[in-house]
């Protein structure tokens, strides 16, 4: 099913000669008029949906985005009730702060508009099931809805009051790099979770000054993402949610006890390691959990089958890509099949220093996951 997001203005009132200083008319009378009116002239929203056009009521649902004003709320309610008589399911979505007060318009209104829009997209099952009709409402509201469509690849439609045909704002054959947003998700998630004091935000921005254009200081002593910052973050999350999930490898034919190649090897390990190995062997696609011995140290390490730089026998080692030789006993969960190549490493950190001095265990040996 397609969800059609419709931005709502006040043309349903102004086309009837209404002015802001006047009282709002009774909704029942306007509903009766709509039932016999020319929808092309009734309002910008009805004209847009007429030209779209709407599909069968079983194939389309409507989401009305309206302002935080009495007239915006009134128009959205009447439109919802009218299209309900035609059999269409509709929902109302108010953008708190989106009104005639400049102090809250950008600080709250546009951010709430984006939150409501992305909420509708998520409820629809993703951007592929959404169309946006950005005709009614504030100009800034229409501009941001166009950006949402551009970033998510959603078809956006617009109809000026002087137009007879619908204007389609096509998807551009462009993509945007999410790597920058992905690299800053720690900050974006943190500031989006709850109001953050401006002084605390400034401390973090000293280490990440390139994020400053995405943050605005508010009168309540807190700092928030700007509408642009909010748009980028929400778009990243929506795009990330739509990416295909990785498929697990096929299950191993081995029983859990046959996968355990660690417990029979004596070694000084941190408390609780047995449970970690047990949990790894219970994962059906894990083929084996085993120990690999490596030498920690740089410059005089030991190669497999050789002797360490101190002249004593030591554990077998593996060479790192950077040329250093590291020594450790590391349980690894292998998903190797014919190639015997480790595909997945699955073990939480178990760091515990085992330095002993010149006698006994070599310095730098430690028990850590591979």
> Helix/strand/coil (H, E, C) string of 80-128?
HHHHHHCCCCEEEEECCCCCCCHHHHHHHHHHHHHHHHHHHHHHCCCHH
Which CATH number is associated with domain 2-169? 3.40.50.10770
pLDDT tens per residue across span 224-238: 999 989 998 998 888
355 and 364 Cβ atoms separated by less than 8 Å: yes
At 221, is the pLDDT very low, low, confident or very high (cuts 50, 70, 90)? very high
**Is 70's pLDDT higher than 90?**
yes
Among the residue ranges 47-51, 211-215, 239-243, 339-343, the one predicted with the least confidence is 339-343
Give the pLDDT confidence score for residue 250 in this predicted structure: 86
Parse the chain into domains and list their residue ranges: 2-169, 179-242, 251-370
**Is 159's pLDDT higher than 80?**
yes
Question: What is the DSSP secondary structure assignment for residue 253, as one 8-state letter?
Answer: S
Q: With the CA atoms of 44, 45, 46 and 52 taken in that order, what torsion angle do they form, in degrees rounded to the nearest 10?
A: 110
Give the pLDDT confidence score for residue 293 in this predicted structure: 57
Among the residue ranges 3-17, 178-192, 245-259, the one predicted with the least confidence is 245-259
> In what helix (H) or strand (E) does residue 71 lie, and over which residues does it extend?
helix 70-85
Give the pLDDT confidence score for residue 3 in this predicted structure: 97
Collapsing DSSP states into helix, strand and coil, what is residue 51? helix
**Is 341's pLDDT higher than 80?**
no
pTM, entire model:
0.61
127 and 121 Cβ atoms separated by less than 8 Å: yes
DSSP for 168-225, please give it. Answer: EEPPPS-----HHHHHTHHHHHHHHHS-EEHHHHHHHHHH-GGGGGGEEE-TTSEEEE
Average pLDDT, whole number, for the chain? 79
**Is 366's pLDDT higher than 60?**
no
**Is 301's pLDDT higher than 80?**
no
> In what helix (H) or strand (E) does residue 247 lie, and over which residues does it extend?
none
Give the pLDDT confidence score for residue 252 in this predicted structure: 87
At 294, is the pLDDT very low, low, confident or very high (cuts 50, 70, 90)? low
């Amino acid at each position: 099913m397609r969800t059609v997001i419709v931005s709502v203005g006040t043309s349903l009132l102004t086309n009837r000669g209404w002015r802001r200083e006047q009282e709002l008319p009774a909704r029942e009378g306007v509903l009766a008029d709509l039932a016999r009116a020319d929808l092309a002239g009734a309002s910008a929203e009805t004209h847009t949906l007429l030209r779209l056009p709407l599909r069968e009521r079983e194939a389309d649902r409507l989401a009305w985005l309206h302002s935080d004003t009495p007239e915006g709320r009134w128009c959205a309610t009447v439109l919802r009730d009218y299209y309900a008589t035609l059999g269409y399911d509709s929902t109302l979505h108010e953008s708190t702060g989106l009104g005639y007060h400049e102090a809250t318009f950008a600080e709250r209104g546009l951010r709430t508009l984006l939150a409501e829009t992305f909420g509708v997209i998520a409820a629809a099952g993703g951007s592929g099931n959404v169309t946006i009709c950005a005709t009614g409402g504030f100009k800034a509201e229409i501009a941001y809805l166009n950006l949402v469509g551009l970033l998510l690849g959603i078809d956006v439609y617009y109809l000026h009051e002087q137009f007879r045909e619908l204007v389609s704002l096509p998807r551009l054959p462009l993509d945007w790099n999410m790597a920058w947003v992905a690299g800053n998700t720690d900050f974006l998630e943190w500031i989006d979770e709850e109001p953050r004091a401006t002084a605390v935000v400034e401390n973090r921005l000293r280490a990440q000054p390139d994020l400053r254009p995405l943050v605005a200081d508010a009168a309540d002593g807190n700092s928030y993402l700007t509408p642009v910052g909010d748009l980028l973050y929400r778009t990243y999350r929506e795009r990330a949610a739509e990416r295909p999930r990785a498929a697990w490898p096929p299950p191993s034919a081995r029983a859990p006890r046959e996968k355990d190649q660690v417990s029979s090897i004596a070694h000084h390990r941190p408390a609780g390691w047995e449970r970690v190995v047990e949990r790894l062997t219970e994962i059906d696609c894990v083929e084996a959990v085993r120990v690999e011995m490596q030498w920690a140290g740089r410059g005089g390490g030991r190669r497999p089958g050789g002797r360490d730089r101190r002249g004593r026998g030591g554990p077998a080692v593996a060479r790192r890509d950077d040329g250093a030789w590291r020594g450790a006993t590391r349980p690894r969960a292998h998903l190797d099949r014919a190639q015997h190549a480790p595909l997945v490493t699955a073990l939480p950190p178990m760091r515990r220093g085992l330095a002993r001095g010149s006698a006994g265990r070599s310095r730098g040996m430690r028990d850590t996951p591979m």
